[in-house]
Structures are given as structure tokens and as C-alpha cells.
Amino acid sequence: MRSKPKLLWIDAVSCNGCSHSFFNIDLSFLDDFELLYHPLLPSGDFKIQSSDILIVEGAIKSNFLRLGFDLNELISKLFFKAKTVIALGTCAVYGGIFGEGLVFNKTSKGKFFKCKDKVINIPGCPAHPEWLFYVLNMLKENKKIVLDELNRPVEIFSYTSHMGCTRNEYFEWKVDAKRFGEKEGCLFYYFGCQGPFTHSSCNKILWNEVNSKPRAGTPCFGCTEPLFPKENLFQTETFMGIPANIPLGVSKRAYLTLSGIAKSLTNERLTKRLIKCENEDKQKDN
Amino acid sequence: MKINKKIINKIEGEATLKIYGDKVIEFAEIEFWQYRGIEKYLQNRHYMDALVINPRVCGICGHSHLLATAKVIENAFGIKVSKKAEILREITTGLEIIQNHIKWFYVTLYPTLIQDKSLILKSLSITSFIAKIIAVIAGQFPHNSYIIPGGVTCDLTNLDILRVKEDLKKLQEKIDKIIDKNGDSNDLKRLFEKMDKNIGKGLNRFLVLGDNLYFKPTGDLTFVKEEKTKSLSKNALYKDEFFEVGPLARNLHHPLIKSVYENYQDSVYTRIFARLYEMHLILEKILNEIDKIDMCEPSFIDYTPRNSEGKIAIEAPRGSLIHSIEISDEKIKEYNIIVPTQFNLSNSTKEKPSPAQAALIKEDIKWSDFIFKCFDVCAVCNTH
């Protein structure tokens, strides 16, 4: 039998959120790995050593100490001693709030760009636990993980977070949410929802198996994208009334034509509240 | 005198402990070196962006930072929310406290004395069950932003509420197996088989500043001051003195916790017991509240922003959490966060020690890790 893959998980500049996200799936599959180090789970004492899989959680930056080492030196040493590196979470992939990513620094090249061939990027703030589960098991079984041009697994990141959103019908018919806290309406036009142009499968592989932010009335903040977090996250940037960012893969003109037609053909059913409370009319009159 | 410097990991982030003394701890210094600069990052951003950025202070208690952010903006603008929104907030933030305590007990504290992998896996299956309940209401856990100034973003149905309620009852059964309503806990007994329940006494001075859930403030947050330390964290003082915040401080009035306190004062045992037993008290509170939800109330009430300042405190998993904000033209001019770990793990002198320093002094050096971790250190929060 082959020996278990050696797995080393290091936290760089992070909030530990990707670790806590990971804790939301059944971790018994980790028995198939030899866990050399994890920042929270029991493991051997930390030492710089070779690994089959290195997981980096968090961004890199200068003048930052980790386990008594300078962070940049520590990550470099671990990186070159690892067969495969998983950059876990938007911080490790693009830098996020706290610093620079491994292969990318926002939209430019990062410190390890030249070695990108051994890196698998799993962005997300936090990264979805099932995405990591998938990558780890594919690696363990020696199966090929097809990656896109940003080194992300296509099985996860060829979707947009818009796909599968329960508010899709409102998007189709251009019925925009006018206020927060209602199950009706699309959050794309007024409330900054980045779902139609964010690479992620949040509405397909649900969070905690039950839900997603847009389903709970919160806009998608594009947390899997290089520039997360952008400014004005709850507002849609528009130019002369046209959203500055339009759905992926469509020309601005085509998008405008389609939304113009949808808007002119009112879908009566979607303009009303889905469920009406008995005293709601009374409340509105007051 | 021998100085033993060690890095404490397997907590949220890491801390450096400098222990003076050979066998007995004469004095201990606590350092945090992982500063990240969230407060600066918020400057000049739209105030709503803080609802996305602040949960990223911490992966285990980020939801408390979200609640604090929404509340400090509401405080600045003078906004009220519906009872429905308030109850939903209590449920999700209460649940975050419970998952925190379970992870802290089994993943952080237990392995310092007893290595039992099955306990860790079992505890994480409970915390992921809790995360699922939060996600029904909030969209996901960790790192949602469903609490916003004026209410919450979700618009639940009765079916959602029923599901949450059923799951809360199941959770109650799971927690009963960790510690029952009489305070009996096999896992706690096992932990203290080889350990003195009297060690690790702190300052015996307590403080509660938040008023969420069933907690009652014992102090006024305007008396809180921060001071710089040698490392990259800041001390937090109340009326120029150090106080212990957290589950022991805010549950001292409870008869069962009080009786343990009378036997062992503020020792490691009392601190751990209060933290575990608090899970029951929080669950009881939210199970009681959930029946009061009026589905016809709005989830969100609109408001008008203005140039203003706000300052609030809530009770987070580890104790009192303070957020303050200055808003001008809808942008954040200043943001300040004071976290519970700053109170409990301040770094001061031998003459005027912080709660954790006091708890470490005069104890056997072999217990340093355990005593330190019994405060549920959040180094990540501490160096926000």
C-alpha cells in the first residue's frame, strides 16, 4: 500500500476563518493523510520539513512573525520543500485584506508566480470546506485536477455564484430588490450583488449544506475574486444608470437589450410579495 | 533567574509567553506579535463595508464582530430595529458563543492534558451542526454579513423558524452530554483527575459591559482605556485597573456557578465550569426568544445616515467587546476595536498584573500552558 500523503497546514496572515470553515465537514477523511502540522488541530511540533501537500492559509507580508520565523522566509522554505501547494482562501490566493497572495498579488504577479505550476488556488473568504475536501481527495487518489488560467479547479470555479441563486427569476425579469430584508427581488441592481460576475459555486455547493448569502438576502461580495474586498460592497456601481460590471460572457449592448426587453414585459407575479402577512396592508397604511 | 520563552500555539493565532522562574512561575510576560491593521484598513471606506471587513477580524468569533459593527452604526445614527430582527441576532450570536466554547474546550484546552482524537472529531461534529443552524438564518458560517444597521437581510418563513427550533432542541440534547443541567460533566471530571481545581486564580475582579442575550452590564464603557505594550497588542483597563471579562464574569449571579465560585474562587476550574455551563443558559434564552418572533414584523427598517459617532459594547464568546466609530459623509473616519483578550491577557508588571498574569504567578511551570489557555486566548482578535 502507498504511504499516506504528508500534509502540512500553515497559517500566514489570516483570521483562521478557512480553518474554522474547514471544521464544518466531517474530518474523519483526514485519517488518510499524515497531518504534520495544523495551527489548531493536534499534530506534531512544528518544524520546517518536506511535505506532499502544503496548505497555506492567509496572506504573506513582510515583518510578520510566525512560530518564531520571519513569515516570508518560513513560507519560502515550506513552499520549496512541498510537492504540491494549496493556496487556501482569498488571502493566500490574491492577498485579500491582509497582504499578498502566493501566485498573485491582487491582479498582478505574486512572489511565487514562477512556480505556479505546483500551486492549486482555492479562493474564497473563507474557502468553502467541500472545495478543499475535493482537492485533497483528488490529490490523494492521484487524479488530475483540471485548473483554469488562475490555477483554480474548473469543477468549482467555472460556475458563477449567481448560478442556482433563488433570486434568479427576479434577475431574469429585472425585478430589483428595493430594500433589504425581503425574500423578493434581485440584489444585483441596487445592492452591489456580484453574483453574475463572481467565479464560485456558492449557490450550487451550498454553505453548511443549507444556504448562501444571496439566499439569506445578503449580496454576493465577490469574495473569491482578486480584488476582494472592493469599495462600497452594498452598492452597485453604475455609470449613467448602467451597472459598471455586467454578467460574465455577455457584451454590454446585449445585456442592455435583454434587460430593456425584460423590464418592458412586466412579470406581474414577481412584482408582488410572495407571502403576505395579514396585517401588512394595515402596516403600510400607517 | 531563568527566563523561559515559549510560543503558545494551537490557539486562535499565537502568543509568546516569557516565564520568569525555574519551577515556580515568579512572573510572566505575554506578547502578541501578529498585528494586521484592520482599523486602519477601514478608514475612508463606506460605513457598510465594515460589515464585511470586521467579521474577518476572527474566524471563530467574527459573527460577534458583525453584531458589534451593526450596533455601533445604529448607535451613531440613532436607529432602532424590529423585535424580530433582534431575536434573530440573539439566536445566531448566541450560537456562535456556544460553538466557540465547544471548540475551545475540546480542541484547544483538552489536548494540553489529554490527547483524544475521537473527542475532537465528536466536538467538531457538534459545532458544524451549530454552524448549520446559524446558516439557515444568516446564509453561512463563518463570515456572513446578514446583520446590517436597521435589522437583518434575511426574510425567513415559518418553516425556517420551525427547523431552527427543532435543531436547537437537538442541540440541547448534545450539550447535555457535555455538561448536564446539574453541572455534571464526565469530560470535565476526566480533565481534572490529575489536576488541582484551585490553581490559576486571577484578580477576583470582574467586569461586564455588554447587554446582549441575558447579560447585564456591571460597568460603563466610557471608563475603558487602552495602553500600549512592548509587543503589538494593547492593554485594556477599566478605571485604570485590570478586570477579568468573560463567561465567569457575566454568570456569577447564577446559583450553580456561584456555588462553584464560592468553593474554588476564580480558579481555572471555576473559569472552565462557567464557560461550559453558560452554553445551557444561552440556549435556554434563545429557545425562549424564538417563540416570540412575529413573522409579520419587518426584518429591516430604513434609516437616514448622518455625520456622527458611536460606541457600544456587546458580550462576545470571550467577554466584553467594544467597537467605536466616527462617520462623516457616510465614510469611516475612525474605527476602534477593543477585544476581550485585551482585558484578560494584558501585559503589565509584577506589581500590577493582568488577570492572566495573576493566574500564572506562583503556579508550577508545568501548568503554564493550561492556565494560559483556560482564558480562551484569541490572539487573532487581539492583534486585529
Q: Looking at the predicted structure, is the pLDDT value of residue A43 above 70? A: yes
Please indicate whether, in this complex, the C-beta atoms of B59 and A19 are within 8 angstroms of each other. Answer: yes
A63 → chain B, closest CA residue: B34
Q: Which domains does chain A have, with CATH numbers?
A: 6-155 (3.40.50.700), 159-274 (4.10.480.10)
Given this model, what pLDDT does residue B194 score? 83
Most B-contacting residue of A18, A20, A281 (CB-CB within 10 A), to test interface? A20
**Contact, A20 vs B142, CB < 8 A?**
yes
- Confidence band for B1, pLDDT divided at 50, 70 and 90: confident
Burial of B115 (0-12, 13-18, 19+ CB in 10 A): exposed
**Contacts with A28 from chain B: Cβ below 8 Å:** 121
The three-state (H, E, C) secondary structure of A44-101, written as one string: CCCCCCCEEEEEEECEECCCCEECCEEHHHHHHHHHHCEEEEEEEHHHHHHCCCCCEC
pLDDT tens-digit series, residues B332-374: 999 999 999 999 999 999 999 999 999 999 999 999 999 999 9
From A16, A27, A213, residue closest to B60, measured CB to CB = A16
Q: What does the mean pLDDT of chain A come to?
A: 95
d(CA B232, CA A261): 57
Q: Could you say which residues from 242 to 271 on chain A have a Cβ atom under 8 Å away from some Cβ of chain B?
A: none
Mean pLDDT for the stretch of residues B34-40:
94
Sign of CA dihedral A262, A267, A272, A273: negative
Mean pLDDT for the stretch of residues B285-297:
97
Say what percent of chain B tops pLDDT 90.
96
Closest-CA distance, A259 to chain B, in angstroms, reads 25
Please indicate whether, in this complex, the C-beta atoms of B132 and A210 are within 8 angstroms of each other. Answer: yes
d(CA A14, CA B384): 10
Please indicate whether, in this complex, the C-beta atoms of B46 and A98 are within 8 angstroms of each other. Answer: no
Taking CB atoms and an 8 Å cut-off, how many pairs form between chains A and B?
Answer: 187
Please indicate whether, in this complex, the C-beta atoms of A42 and B144 are within 8 angstroms of each other. Answer: no
The one-letter amino acid code at B205 reads R
pTM: 0.97
d(CA A60, CA B88): 37
**Contacts with B7 from chain A: Cβ below 8 Å:** 67-68
Q: Which helix (H) or strand (E) holds B272?
A: helix B268-290
Q: Looking at the predicted structure, is the pLDDT value of residue A85 above 50? A: yes
Closest-CA distance, A250 to chain B, in angstroms, reads 28
Q: Looking at the predicted structure, is the pLDDT value of residue A283 above 60? A: no
Q: Looking at the predicted structure, is the pLDDT value of residue A278 above 90? A: no
Closest-CA distance, A184 to chain B, in angstroms, reads 9
Q: Looking at the predicted structure, is the pLDDT value of residue A281 above 70? A: no
Say what percent of chain A tops pLDDT 90.
93
User: Cβ of A275 under 8 Å from any chain B Cβ?
Assistant: yes
From B14, B137, B150, residue closest to A67, measured CB to CB = B14
Please, what is the Cα angle at A254 between A250 and A256, to 5 degrees? 110
Q: List the beta bridge partners of residue B313.
A: B322
Given this model, what pLDDT does residue A277 score? 82
pLDDT tens-digit series, residues A251-260: 999 999 999 9
Mean pLDDT for the stretch of residues A192-208:
98
Q: Looking at the predicted structure, is the pLDDT value of residue A3 above 80? A: yes
pLDDT tens-digit series, residues A136-164: 999 999 999 999 999 999 999 999 999 99
Q: What ipTM score was computed for the predicted complex, to two decimals?
A: 0.96
- Confidence band for A279, pLDDT divided at 50, 70 and 90: low
Class at the top of the CATH hierarchy for domain B3-382: mainly alpha
